[in-house]
Each structure stands twice: as C-alpha cells, then as structure tokens.
C-alpha cells in the first residue's frame, strides 16, 4: 500500500522469468510486514516503527530457514525494512545475496519549499491544512521516498557497501 513499495509488485514475476531464462528457478521465500513512519505519524501504532526492524528480520529469516536456497534477492526500501533484511541476510551469510531498491520517487514539491511550509507551521503562521497539502505534494510517486529521513541515504549506503548494483 505504500508508494515506496509499489514498484515491487511486479518484481517476483520478473525475477522468476529472469531466473528461468538463465536455467534457474526462483520462488518467493516470504514477505515481510513494512510500515512507513511518514505515513504512520500521529496514527495508532506509530511507536512500532523501530520494533518493525526485528519483525522484518525474523520474518525474512524464517522464510530462508528451509535450507532450500542457493542465493537470496532482497526487495526493500527504507531505514526499517532494509536493516531488517540486512540482519536476515547476515544471519544467512552463506547465501549470496543482492538487495534491489525500488528506485527514486519523483518529487512534486522541492524539499526547500516543503521545509519552508514545515517551518511556517512550527511558527504557527500556517495551519494544518497547508502543512498536509505540502506533505501530500511531496510524496506523489512510487519509489524510495523523498522524506528528509534516511530512506535515500540508506539506499546509498547499501550501494556503497556493494549490496546494490552501482547506480541502483
């Protein structure tokens, strides 16, 4: 349901097809629950954000625990999902692994304009409606979110460590 994960909807079928063409077999070992703190702010359950890393690590680990795989492909975005998947990957360090990001989200409202509206809201100069309008304009496409958080730096770190292909 999150725009950051929307591109992954078709990836399992694409991965299966590519593996088949290379003479292999691919299957989904499991899926993990994921949340976005940008979406859950102020909502019931928002405090579960950091706990979700452990749940993600456990769910991915359980999916790999069948000792049936020669390698693993991890589909993830964000500073909760990717670390959770990395924990699972390290637990199964004997399996070659690659992480595939969803690609960058196109932005509608530049970060400096969004920051200005946030500042005006903090000063009480604009209301919640103006703030929500700016936030909605900022997150309007699929892919790694443009939030002033760690989603994009997280994706860059995975590339720097060699877990993503260069330019991913």
Taking only the tens place, the pLDDT of each residue in 11-51 is: 999 999 999 999 999 999 888 877 777 777 788 878 888 88
What's residue 131's pLDDT?
92
Q: Are residues 125 and 86 in the same domain?
A: no
**Backbone angles phi and psi of 43, in degrees to 5:** -105, 155
Q: Are residues 60 and 120 in the same domain?
A: no
Q: Are residues 14 and 58 in the same domain?
A: yes
Q: Are residues 14 and 95 in the same domain?
A: yes
What's residue 75's pLDDT?
92
- C-alpha dihedral (37, 40, 45, 50), degrees to nearest 10: 0
3-state secondary structure of 73: strand
Residues 72-107 have pLDDT tens digits of 999 988 888 888 999 999 999 999 999 998 877 776
Q: Are residues 48 and 115 in the same domain?
A: no
Backbone region of residue 97 per phi and psi (left: phi > 0; alpha: psi in -120 to 50; beta: other values)? beta
Using alpha carbons, select from 158, 151, 152, 157 the residue that is nearest to residue 37: 151
Spatial separation of the C-alpha atoms in residues 49 and 41, rounded to whole Å: 10
Whether 108 has a pLDDT exceeding 90, the answer reads no
pTM as predicted: 0.78
Q: Are residues 21 and 68 in the same domain?
A: yes
Q: Are residues 112 and 61 in the same domain?
A: no
Residues 132-158 have pLDDT tens digits of 998 888 766 787 776 656 777 788 888
- Residue 114 neighbours by CB under 8 Å, 6+ apart: 134, 135, 137, 138, 148
- CB-CB contact of 149 with 37 (8 Å): yes
The answer to whether residue 167 is domain-embedded is no
The answer to whether residue 168 is domain-embedded is no
DSSP 80: T
What's residue 148's pLDDT?
54
- Give how many domains the chain has, as a whole number: 2
Two tokens, residue 165: 């292909």
**122 vs 167, higher pLDDT:** 122
The answer to whether residue 14 is domain-embedded is yes
| CATH code assigned at 25 | 3.40.50
Q: Which residues span the domain enclosing 131?
A: 107-140
Spatial separation of the C-alpha atoms in residues 97 and 118, rounded to whole Å: 40
Q: Are residues 15 and 63 in the same domain?
A: yes
Average pLDDT, whole number, for the chain? 86
């Amino acid at each position: 349901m999150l725009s950051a994960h929307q591109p992954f909807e078709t990836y399992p079928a694409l991965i299966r097809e590519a593996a088949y063409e290379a003479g292999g077999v691919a299957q989904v070992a499991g899926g993990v629950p994921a949340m976005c703190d940008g979406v859950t702010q102020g909502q019931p359950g928002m405090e579960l954000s950091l706990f979700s890393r452990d749940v993600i690590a456990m769910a991915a680990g359980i999916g790999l625990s069948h000792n049936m795989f020669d390698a693993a492909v991890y589909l993830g975005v964000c500073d909760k999902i990717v670390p959770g998947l990395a924990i699972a990957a390290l637990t199964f360090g004997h399996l070659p692994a690659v992480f595939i990001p969803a690609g960058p989200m196109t932005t509608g409202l530049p970060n400096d304009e969004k920051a200005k509206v946030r500042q005006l809201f903090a000063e009480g100069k604009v209301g919640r409606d103006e703030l929500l309008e700016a936030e909605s304009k900022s997150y309007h496409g699929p892919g790694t979110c443009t939030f002033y958080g760690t989603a994009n730096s997280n994706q860059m770190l995975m590339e720097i460590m060699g877990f993503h292909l260069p330019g991913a």
